Amino acid sequence: MIRPVRPEDAEEIAALYRANRQFLAPLEPVHPPAFFTADGQLLRLRRQLERDTRPFAILDDGAIAGTINLFGIVPEGLQSGVIGYWVDRARNRRGLATGAVAEVLAYAFGELELHRIEAATLVDNLPSQRVLEKNRFERIGVARSYLRINGAWRDFVLFQRVAGD
């Protein structure tokens, strides 16, 4: 269901972001106009790889239906990472996000030998919280003023899943 994002995916991902611009606006930081272009996505991919972020495409019958990123990887000591994900609104409620999170967990705890994966959702983002609950994440608590969304610093609920749980 997931595979690493490739440079040749840039236009398909940009088009998906354009189609979901209004859907994602209340849930994500503000993106500059270039973000919604193939060139912008190509640049983003290069930067992600430089920073050791692992971006994956979520596939639906061969087409890209969303993305899931594993970022903030600390390989030693904490052995931890953070995930962020989204799925095309038109393909919601078909288990794509739940399945993609399960696959990234298997990769993180398996190949990368991480110990702990963290995720954060807006306090009222119940669909995303459900995705995490279904993947046996536990709720840590509310992180006040955690991320700037649509121009305002918003509170988020933090979740974690520990290897072996």
Ligand X SMILES: CC(C)(COP(=O)(O)OP(=O)(O)OC[C@H]1O[C@@H](n2cnc3c(N)ncnc32)[C@H](O)[C@@H]1OP(=O)(O)O)[C@@H](O)C(=O)NCCC(=O)NCCS
**Rounded alpha-carbon distances, angstroms, from residue 4 to 24, 66, 99, 107, 117:** 22, 12, 15, 12, 18
- Residues in contact with ligand X by the rule CB under 6 A: 24, 27, 85-87, 92-98, 121, 125-128, 130-131
Identity of the residue, 2 or 131, whose beta carbon is nearer to ligand X in the bound complex? 131
Strand order across the 80-87 sheet? 2-4, 54-60, 63-74, 80-87, 116-122, 152-162, 138-149
**Beta carbon of residue 27, minimum distance to ligand X (angstroms, whole number):** 5
CB of 76 to ligand X, least distance (A): 27
Closest approach, Cβ 164 to ligand X, in A, equals 23
| CA count, 13 A, side-chain hemisphere, 59 | 11
User: CA–CA separation, 115 vs 113, rounded Å?
Assistant: 7
User: For residue 3, what are its two tokens?
Assistant: 């595979």
Least gap, CB of 131 to ligand X (angstroms): 5
